[in-house]
Structures are given as structure tokens and as C-alpha cells.
Structure 1
Amino acid sequence: MKKFEDFLSEHPAQWMVGDKEHGDIIMSTRVRLARNMEEMHFPRAASEEDILSVDRDVSGAILDDENLPYQFSHFDLSDKTVVQKQVLVEKHLISPQLAGQNKHGSVLISEDESISIMINEEDHIRIQCIEPGLDFKEALRRANEIDDCLERNLSYAFDERFGYKTTCPTNVGTGLRASAMLHLPALTMTKQMRQLITMMPRLGLVVRGMYGEGTEATGSYYQISNQITLGKSEEEIVQELESIVLQIINKEIEAREAMLEYASIAISDRLNRSLGVLQYARILTSEEAASCLSNVRLGIDLGIIQSIPNELLNKCMLIMQPGFLQQIAGTSLKANERDVFRAELIRDIFQQCGVLNNNNGDKGEDSYDV
């Protein structure tokens, strides 16, 4: 069983380094199931006794089940520091809501960090499974495996007409939220992303930032998820979302090809400038760092920038976040101090890897405002 400190590591989780089809565009897929215990108040209104009882019952059901093919570690978050909880958010192991609450929240995390079970967040139970690339089927299978284990041992709050009861009405029904994390720099640069974001609600979808509800998109990373959980089966929800995600992937591919054909010099200049900023800047805000890392990742995908492994970019994406910066520094940092330390860390990582600024992309006419 892994210790708490092991999950605070700067090394990206295994799902972040997967090599699947369209892995340059779709970083991961996630399935989350919301469940509540029968005849108990939802966490916000529950007594401390009930909250502790839920924690005990849920963690016991998972840790005592010898048939589950996963090893879990259980952590009470009430005695963890703000920075430690922020790091878990930045690694997508818990939600910002669970990190920010004062009551007794806890989490079960699988050894490979692809499954986490949040206890006493907005709902009593939130099962989260993340897979690399586009693989809703496997994420749903694993989430249902955990759900079945819990349902064998616990009594869920369920209504024959409305399905699983949840704190938020938008989760009633299946209690399922499926989402895809997409890197869409070409659609962002060519201003097509605005139209897609406007269109999504009409398709029953919502676009958010990297950390879900209440977060803004940074570095051209977008989380696209379903809004409707009632009136459809789990399989229908993920199939419809996957179909739309594939269409978005194709649009991103078309936008990348168009930029290379009509604006290769301009795009090469922009992407290599971003590499230069990461190598030499002395001050980097989180927004600028995310934007530059996004541009460099695009440069690698297009063959414009070479000799940079994706593992390096994944590590930079983690350590540039406020929680990780303060954990590495060993002290709290003000915003301006974080900007200086962020630039120093990223600069050192690039220098240690001996990264060279390579440019292969000078061809075509400049006609895009990139």
C-alpha cells in the first residue's frame, strides 16, 4: 500500500503517459459516478457522526474486497495541509470542492492513480476512473466494477422513477459524468473554438477547464463532458459523447493541416518563440507557462520542434501549478514569487535535458493570424 507522500510525487500518473490513437489531441477520458447512502443526509447537511460512518463503510467495503483487482490507499483529508490537497487536485486525484471543504472528506486512490473514490464531497461517494486517450468503454467498465463492489455492501439512495439520488439535480438519473480532456491549440488559434463552445450546450454538453467545474481553459486544454444524466443509459451517454469528441478531433486535425499549408512560417515562429520563453524567461505566470507549453507540444506534434520528450512537457505541466511550486519550495509563496520560481524550475528542466531549439517548418505562405 502506497504512502500519502507517494501520491504527491512530481512524476505524472500512468494515464498521462499513455500512447493511444489521437493521443496528441485527446489526453484522457474520465468517467465519474455519483452515489449517496440511503436514509442519510447529503454531506452538506449530515452530522459528523454520519459523515464518519459513511467514510468507514465506504473505505471498508473497498479495502476488504479481495476480488477487486486494484490496490487502494485510504486518506483522511482533514489533517492534510492546503498545499498537499492542492497537489492532489493538480494531479486530478481529488476535486477542488473536496480540497476546499472543512468537513471530514477522504479519498481512496488506486496504486496507479487511475481510480479515485472521493468520500463526503458533494455526494457521499464519487467514483472517478481515468484512461489515457479515447477509451470511455474501459473507464466505464472500471467505474462500474467499483460501483458493483460498493452496492454489494451498501444501500444506495435510489428512486425507481428518477434513478440515483444526488445532491445536484443535474446528476440525478445515472449519476454519470463522462468527460474528455482535449488539447486543441489549432482550433483555439484559428478562433474556431469559440463557436464550438457556444454550440456545446445545444448538444447537451459543457466545456470547462482542466480541473472541471468552475475552472477556465488554459493552454488550449479543454474538458468536454455531458450535462444530461437522466433519461439515457450509461452506454448511450458515453457513446454520444465519444461521437462528438471524434468530430472535434477531426476538426483539430484539419485546422493543424491548414496552418501548416498556409501559414507554416508564422506558426513555426510562434511555436519556437514559446520554446525560447520556456528556456530563458526569468518570470512566468501560470497562464504564460501553460500557453508556451501548449505551443511547444503542438510544435512536437507537427514536427516543427524536435528532441523534446512528451514526458518533459507532462512534468512541466505538473510542477508549474501553485501547489506543486510551494511543495517543491517547502514554503508558501506569493503570486509574484511563484512566477519567478516557476520560470527557474522550467528553465532548469529544459537545461538538464539538453533541449535544443530546432525549427523544421519554414514552408508555405503566411495567411493565418496565428
Structure 2
Amino acid sequence: LRLRFPPYDVFKELFDPILEDLHGGYKPSDEHKPDLNPDNLQDGDDLAPNYVLSSQVRSGHSIRASASPHVPHCSRGEHGAREQLAVELRRAWTWPATWPVLALKSMTQAEQQQLIDDHFLFDEPLSPLLLASGMARDWPDAPDIWHSDSKIFLVWVNEEEHLRVISVQKGGNMKEVFPWFCNGLAQIETLFKSKNYEFMWNPHLGYILTCPSNLGTGLRAGVHIKLPHLGKHETFPKVLKRLRLQKRGTGGVDTAALGGVFEVSNADRLGFSEVELVQVVVDGVKLLIEMEQRLEQGWAIDDLVPAQK
């Protein structure tokens, strides 16, 4: 049932109004329009490095041939089969053969923690929400990570989604990060199709993922940015909302903003293309930096507060 008829189709009458409210009025008749052409991104190569510490684009993907699109519902055997598939795909990869595949179960605690501290690896699922969903059931038996030599491109296997594709590097050059993401994702999809696999996707909902909030692109484009003044300003939440952005702490969800460093990313997923969402981040971050610079000088920022997008 889950393979042929995803829950968003089976329980359409339940999910349609939820998704419409969750995704800003997205109608049951609307179609999701992807755009993974990095040439369509305007600017983004000059986000001030004094403020932007790192830039990242990532997305999750479910494999249609799996018995369930949701990692917590998969058996240990399904986890293992997906892990083996990822290894086979890596061997068929046309990029440098030196890129390693790292099994979480074979890493030391120190190796895991170093990758987590560097924002290259996901944390162990310890929150009550993740534990209740079954995310930790087979930990650390099935999760894998493989990455480029420079770690600008990474793939996570069996985290919250079957696969998570990531491009990340230090500094504010989103114009360099985004092509790595787009080209890497395209190669992975091509390799999957050569093995008679494909990602779960439909014209209305885009990519089908575990959480309803991630339907569509499944994409989070973001930066780690220093905003010690703006981060304390009373207008900060309003500015983010109007720019269609959201913030997390320095270490991601449910963490504090240490030293005024926030992770700022797109708030939307569905009804917008990948290029549009990255553009929202690029344009919004430029304004946040301008506001921070004003506050550093003790100047007002009222005239910079944007209208709602």
C-alpha cells in the first residue's frame, strides 16, 4: 500500500487542507515546478565573509522501490539494502575514486564527534520526537556518509530520509555551493535510474519525504551568519518572517545561537523551485547583513524593514 499509494494520496481528504495551511495556501490543483539550473541563480558569490561563516544547500529524498518512504518504518533489512545500494552507486560514480564511504557503525566516537562539530554529520537521534518515531531503532547500524575530498559535497544514507544530498563550504559563495548540489543530485538520480530505482516524486507534491513540511523541493538552503546585534533586536523575528526565512541556533534545531551566530535558511519548500528558494536566501541574507552593519554604527534600521513577501 505504501509503495504504490503514498499516504498523501490515500488520505488526500485529510492531508489536502493540512498542506494548504502548512504551505501558504498551496491548493490541491497546484503543480510543483522544479528548477535545478544553477545558472538561473542571480548573484550569491559575494555574501560578506566577515558575517557569513558557511553556506549550505541540502535536500532529502525517498527511494520509490523501498517498502516505505519513511526511514523510521523501514526494517533493518531495508536499511541494510539501501546502505549496500549507496555503496554500489558510489563505486559507479564518475567523480574522483578517492571519495570515501564511511559507515557510522565503524567510526570511533571521536571521529563521529569531529564530523558533527564540523557540520558534516548528523547527531545521534536523542530527542523525544525522534525516539518516539523510531528513528533510533537501528542506530548506528545502517547510517552512512560519503563525501568529496574537500567535503564540499556529501551524501547521508538512512538519516531522517533514505538519502540526504548536501553541498557545504566555508564562506559566503552560494554561487559555488549551489552548482555542486545541482550537479551532484543530477548524477545521483541518473545512477539510480541505471539501477532501476528512482526518487519518490509527483507533479503536485514534488519530492515525497517523511515530514509534510519538507514536501516539494525538500530543500534547505542556508548560511551560518554572525548577527550579534540584529539577533537581539526586537524586529528580528518580524524581518525573518517577511523575508520568508527561518532561524536556528548555531548547532541547528533546538540549539542556542552562540556568539550571535545563527543558521538562517528558507522557510518554504513546496510551490517554489530550488532556484527561487536559494535566491530568497541570497537576497535576504544581504539585507540582514546591511541591517547588522547599521546596528553596529548605532543607527536605526526601521527604514530597512521589508514588506511581507
TM-score by length of 2: 0.70
Residues 1-370 of structure 1: pairs in structure 2 closer than 5 A: 22-40=48-66, 41=68, 42-66=70-94, 68=95, 71-97=98-124, 101=136, 102=139, 103-154=141-192, 155-188=198-231, 191-192=232-233, 194-258=234-298
**In 2, Cα distance between the equivalents of 1:148 and 1:125?**
14
> Is the 8 Å Cα contact of residues 155 and 164 (structure 2) preserved in structure 1?
yes
The unaligned stretches of length 5 or more in structure 2 are: 1-44, 128-135, 193-197, 300-309
Structure 1 residues 144 and 114, CA gap change in structure 2 (3 angstroms): same
**In 2, Cα distance between the equivalents of 1:110 and 1:31?**
15
Tell me what 1:269 maps to: none
**In 2, Cα distance between the equivalents of 1:244 and 1:69?**
35
**In 1, Cα distance between the equivalents of 2:249 and 2:103?**
27
**Superposed displacement of residue 214, structure 1:** 2.4
Tell me what 1:346 maps to: none
> Is the 8 Å Cα contact of residues 35 and 126 (structure 1) preserved in structure 2?
yes
**Superposed displacement of residue 216, structure 1:** 1.9
> Is the 8 Å Cα contact of residues 245 and 284 (structure 2) preserved in structure 1?
no
Judging by fraction of residues, say which structure has more helix. 1
Identity value in percent: 24
Structure 1 residues 70 and 174, CA gap change in structure 2 (3 angstroms): farther
1:337-357, Cα deviation, whole Å (9 max, x unpaired): xxxxxxxxxxxxxxxxxxxxx
Greater radius of gyration (CA): 1
Structure 1 residues 172 and 97, CA gap change in structure 2 (3 angstroms): farther
**In 2, Cα distance between the equivalents of 1:135 and 1:170?**
27
**Superposed displacement of residue 178, structure 1:** 0.4
**Superposed displacement of residue 179, structure 1:** 0.6
Letter of the 1:96 partner, please give it: D
1:263-313, Cα deviation, whole Å (9 max, x unpaired): xxxxxxxxxxxxxxxxxxxxxxxxxxxxxxxxxxxxxxxxxxxxxxxxxxx
Letter of the 2:76 partner, please give it: E
Aligned length: 237
**In 1, Cα distance between the equivalents of 2:97 and 2:167?**
12
Structure 1 residues 21 and 168, CA gap change in structure 2 (3 angstroms): closer
**Superposed displacement of residue 156, structure 1:** 0.9
Letter of the 1:130 partner, please give it: V
Structure 1 residues 139 and 83, CA gap change in structure 2 (3 angstroms): same
Letter of the 1:200 partner, please give it: L
Structure 1 residues 116 and 51, CA gap change in structure 2 (3 angstroms): same
SS in 1 for 2:213: helix
1:44-70, Cα deviation, whole Å (9 max, x unpaired): 11111211111121232133222x258
Of stretches 219-228 and 53-62 in structure 1, the one that deviates more from structure 2 is 53-62
Tell me what 2:195 maps to: none
**In 2, Cα distance between the equivalents of 1:35 and 1:75?**
19
**In 2, Cα distance between the equivalents of 1:72 and 1:213?**
29
**In 1, Cα distance between the equivalents of 2:154 and 2:97?**
11
SS in 2 for 1:258: coil
1:162-198, Cα deviation, whole Å (9 max, x unpaired): 111111111110111101110122334xx32x42134
**Superposed displacement of residue 228, structure 1:** 1.0
**Superposed displacement of residue 240, structure 1:** 1.3
Question: Superposition RMSD on alpha carbons, in Å?
Answer: 2.3
**Superposed displacement of residue 136, structure 1:** 2.4
Q: Which has the higher contact order (CA 8 A, sep 6+)?
A: 2
**Superposed displacement of residue 20, structure 1:** 6.1
